[in-house]
Every structure is written in C-alpha cells, then in structure tokens.
Chains A and B, each alone.
Chain A
Amino acid sequence: MTWRWVFTGLVLLMVFTPLAAAAAEDAHGTEEDKQNIFIGDFWEAIWTLLAFVLLLVVLWRFAWKPLLGALQAREEHIQRQIDEAEKVRQDAEGVLTEYRRKLSEAEQQGKNIVEQHVKQAEKEAHGVMAKAEQDMEAMRIRLETELEKSRRLAQKELLEQSGQIIFNLGREILGRSIETDDNQRLIADAIDRLEHEQNQQLLDARLPDEEAEEGQ
C-alpha cells in the first residue's frame, strides 16, 4: 500500500516538475538572490520529498508499527483490566446484595427470636408470679388456719385456766369446794358458750360479705 502511495507521488512530481523547474530557473537567475526570501531550488524540493518518503517508509516499519503495537497492546491490557475490574465490581455488588439480604434476614430472625424469647420470658415470669402468688396465698391460708388453731387453743387454755382460777377463788371465798365434776361441767359449758358466740360472730361477719358477692 505504501509503495502505491510513493508511486502516485512520484507520478505527480513528474507532472509538476517542468513548472517548478521554470520557477527555479527564475529564482536562481540573478545576484539579487542574496536578498530574496524565496530563494531556493527545485532540487531542494525533490531532496526533501525523497527524504520525507524515506523517513515515512522506514519509520512506519521500524518505529510507528512497534509503537502502535505497544499502544494497542497497552490499550487492550487496560481495557482487559477495566473489564475485569467491572466484572469483579459486578460480582462484588452481587455478593454485597446477597450479604445484605442475608443480613436483613438474620436481623429479622434475630428480632423474631428476641421477641419470641421476650414473650416466653414474660409468660414464664407471669407463671412464676402466679405460682408465687398461689404459694403466698396457700401460705397465708395455712398461717391463718394455724393462727386460728393457736388462737382457739390459747382461748381454750385461757378458759380452762380462768375456770380453775374461778374454782380456786370460789373455794377460798365460799369455803367449800365445788365438785370437780361440776366445775368441769361449768367450764365446759362456758367454753361451749364462748365457742358458740364466736361462731355466731364469725357467721355475722361473713354474711355481709356473701350478700355483697351475691349482689355483684
């Protein structure tokens, strides 16, 4: 291809040669050439053309071709790196999306687990509270019962001791002793009467509460 260009150039040069030669004759004709800024020679044009064509052909083969090859190789290398970087970026984006999704899922799962555990803990806490209340209620009832028992026992003992004191006082004051059986009977009667009164008081105390509950 280069030789075709060279050939065409030379043909055109041959066409222009007569014109330029005539001009060269004029340019070099006189002594005034020393002051002529257009001084020159057609052979200089030919020489320049040959030098330029030689330069073009040799540099194209030994300089520009390797340079273009190097530049193209570098461009390909850079393009390949850019493509690879783009691919890696896309992969990384995919992985990042996947990780974000997983992270989101894990967060949701974590929240669910926490909520579940909180609910369970609340439920267990409620159970524990209810059981504690039940235990406390049972203990309270047991203590109340025991207290009532103790109170009755103490009351009974008080009555027995009171009877014994009255018996002793009566013997001292009346100078005679009431028969033990009588004494015991009197004490038993007093206790019965006391118990009866207490029961009556308990009944009286419960009745208003029951009426109130029935009313509700």
Chain B
Amino acid sequence: MGPIRPLLAMTSPIEHFTSKPLFSVFGLFNFTSHMFVVTLATVVLLVVMPLIFHRRPLVRSGFGNALEAICLYLREEVARPFLHERTDKYIGYIWTIFFFILTMNLLGIMPVDKIVLLASGMRLRHWGGAPTANIWITGTLAFCAFLLFHMAGIRENGLVKYIQNFSPKVPWPLMPFMFFMELVSSCVRMFSLAIRLFANIMAGHILLAALFMFIVIFQNPFAATASTLAQVVMTIMEIFVAFLQAYIFTFLTTIFIGMAVHPEH
C-alpha cells in the first residue's frame, strides 16, 4: 500500500470527467474539454438528424426508424398529454433538448479523450469528458428550459394573466405569500433540473472511477476481475442512466411548459 499512496493521493475520482482547459481563444477565454464535447455533440446532431429526417418516406427503416420511434414517443406520450393541441408548437424544442442531452451523456460515457489521444499520437490530452456532469452546462440547459416555459406561458396567456396565475384562488391575505411561493417554485424548478442531471451523471462517473481504483488498491487478479466485471455492469447501467436522465429532463421540461401554458390544469 505504501508506494500506492502517492498515486492515490494524486488521482482524483472526478478528474477523468471534469472540465479542463485545452487552449486559449484570443486570450479571451479558455476552450475547455467540455466545450469540445458539447461541440462534438452539436456537430454529430447537426449532421445525423438532417441526414435522417430530410427525406419523408411513409415508413422508415433501421436507425432512422429507431430515432423516429423515440421522437414519436416523446410527441405522443410525453408532450401531447400536457400540451394537447399546442404539442407541435413546442415539440421541436423538446426533441432538441432530449437528443442534445442524450448525445452529451453518451459521449461522456465513451472514452473520447482516449480516442483523441491515440488518434493524435499521444499529443492531445483531455479532449473529452462528461459535459452533463458540469453544473454550468446543465444549469444552462435548465436556464433555457426556465426561459422557455415562462415565455410559453406569457405567449399563450398574456403577461398579466400569466402573472395573475402565479397566485391561485386563495383568500386575499394569503395571495402575496402564495405569489411569492409560486415565484420561488418556478425558480426552484430550474435548479432542480440542473442539479438532478448534473448529480446523476457525476455520481455514475465517480462510481466507475472508484471501481477502477480497487484494481490499484488491491493489486491482485481477483480484485481486477471483479472490478472489471463491476465496471462493465455499471457502464451498461450508465448507458441506461444516460437515456433515463435525458428523458427525465425532457419530461419535466414538458410538464413545466404544460403548467405554464395551461395554468388551469
């Protein structure tokens, strides 16, 4: 254990997925590893989605069919129960946020940094990571959702009526209190969206790192085998969590939009 201590002390379970500066852009800001993965996810989606969906066959097949099944599920089973006749007005945002988060989650699981490192002849380090384990990024997505559901509420109901709906029908002495509570609640929704996604993805990556550490700590074949098997299982579960968290973020955003545009519900 003696010689390993310095190694363990130097190794952090969060280091493999946290944001690292890669290079400076005009001395204005640092281009980070998470920015790279966000860009990669954007490019992938900008290429794949139009390629698949620009054609309009009556029935799709293969990967296009799978993507369309997901889109159809989000439209009919997630959005329509809350948005009703306004579904198609907001479905583009819902699809975009789902696939954006999903792609970033999946790229976070993939060893993108190792692939880039190998491809660059061991020159480019840290070109990867899990952007959805970054509170700034999940916070931005939650902020977008926050903006969207307030703007949708104002757009569908008008500013005055929307603000009036913040206070439910209660005896007038309670109204200011309820108004304040609803105002706080609408902000809390944004934070809950951001923290849920961030915490779940980060916890998964820390767990994988901790499992990997067992190999270094115990240094025997049994521990290595058990750790590797556990990592395989947990990685499969992380893939599931990637889908699940993207779905939960999308689902909650849809509910918030629905609550804003249909305050009577």
**A residues in contact (CB < 8 Å) with B:** 5, 8-9, 12, 16, 24, 34-35, 37-45, 47-49, 51-52, 54-56, 58-60, 62-74, 77
Contacts and interface: CB of A to CB of B under 8 A. Distances in A.
Contacts of B164: none
A37 B137 CA distance: 13
A43 B72 contact: no
Q: Which 9 A-B pairs have the closest CB atoms?
A: A40-B136, A62-B50, A63-B49, A43-B29, A70-B56, A64-B92, A63-B53, A67-B53, A45-B140
20 contacts: A34-B12, A38-B135, A39-B18, A40-B135, A41-B29, A43-B32, A44-B140, A45-B140, A48-B136, A49-B140, A51-B41, A55-B100, A56-B92, A58-B50, A67-B68, A67-B71, A68-B91, A68-B92, A74-B58, A77-B58
B24 to A, nearest CB: 11
A59 B38 CA distance: 16
Contact of B35 (A16, A44, A65): A44
Contacts of A59: 45-46, 49-50, 92, 95-96
A9 B88 contact: no
Interface in B108-148: 131, 134-137, 139-141, 143-144, 147-148
B39 interface: yes
A65 B58 CA distance: 15
Interface string B71-93: 11001000000000000100111
Interface in B125-177: 131, 134-137, 139-141, 143-144, 147-148, 151
Size class of the B contact interface (CB-based, 8 Å): 35 or more
Contact of B137 (A48, A60, A62): A48
Contacts of B151: 5, 8
Nearest to B76: A71
B30 interface: yes
A55 B29 contact: no
A55 B42 contact: yes
Given A35-B14, A40-B135, A63-B49, A52 B56 contact: no
Contact of B46 (A5, A55, A65, A72): A55
Contacts of A16: 143
Contacts of B148: 5
A175 B92 CA distance: 159
A52 B100 contact: yes
B250 to A, nearest CB: 13
A8 B140 CA distance: 15
A39 B113 CA distance: 18
Interface in B24-50: 29-30, 32, 34-35, 38-39, 41-42, 45-46, 49-50
B105 interface: no
Contact of A44 (B34, B55, B75, B202): B34
A8 B147 contact: yes
Contacts of A58: 46, 50
Given A44-B19, A51-B38, A64-B96, 4 more contacts: A41-B30, A48-B38, A56-B93, A67-B68
Nearest to A12: B147
In this complex, the member of A5, A49, A55, A67 whose beta carbon has the largest number of chain B beta carbons within 10 angstroms is A67
A52 B12 contact: no
In this complex, the member of A35, A54, A55, A71 whose beta carbon has the largest number of chain B beta carbons within 10 angstroms is A55
A44 B137 contact: yes
A49 to B, nearest CB: 5
A63 B54 contact: yes
B75 A71 contact: yes
A60 to B, nearest CB: 5
Contact of A71 (B32, B72, B93, B140): B72
B195 to A, nearest CB: 10
Contacts of B56: 66, 69-70, 73
Contacts of A63: 49-50, 52-54
A185 B45 CA distance: 152
B147 A54 contact: no
Contacts of B30: 41, 43
Contacts of B58: 74, 77
A72 B45 CA distance: 23
A48 B143 CA distance: 11
A9 B71 CA distance: 25
